[in-house]
Amino acid sequence: MNETQALVTLVPWTLIAQILNLFIQMYLIKRFLFKPIKEVLEKRRQMADQEIREAKEAREEAETIKKEYENNIAGAREEAAQIVQSAKKEAENRADQMIQAAEAEVTRMHQKAEADIAQERKKAINEVKDEIGGIAMDIAGKVVEREINEADHKKLIDEFIKNVGEAS
């Protein structure tokens, strides 16, 4: 029993030394182990927080750029549609103007052609009248030169018809 009691008994100086030893170890562990680990963990946390902030800022900036890009695309589409629409209107206006100019030109050419035809008709009628007058004068001159018998009369008429046919 003594032996077991000696194992279980507390020696006050040993207990105080062990408690002091525990406090010294805790101080050393805290100072040289926990403090640097805590500083490393704090730096990592700050870096992680900074990366998260930067990622959020980058995402917000990307969203802003995306919205701006989409607005620009929508604006460009609208502008392209307006350009196409105005080009169509301009083309239609030019086509209408060209059609009107062509119709006016056709009308003018038609009127000129009618005027030319009328003038040529008058000219041809005048030429035929002159020819007929000349032929009549020739016939009258021949009639006066000689006396006309039936054969000569028929010959003169045939000659007159032949000359009129050549003139026209």
**Model pLDDT for residues 40-57, shown as the tens digit of each residue:** 999 999 999 999 999 999
Cβ–Cβ under 8 Å, residues 116 and 152: no
Q: What amino acid is encoded at 142 in this protein?
A: K
pLDDT at 3: 64
pLDDT at 168: 55
Q: What's the chain's average pLDDT? A: 84
Q: The tokens of 26 are what?
A: 């805790």
- DSSP state, residue 100: H
Is the confidence at residue 71, as pLDDT, over 90?
A: yes
Backbone angles phi, psi at 147, to 5 degrees: -85, 140
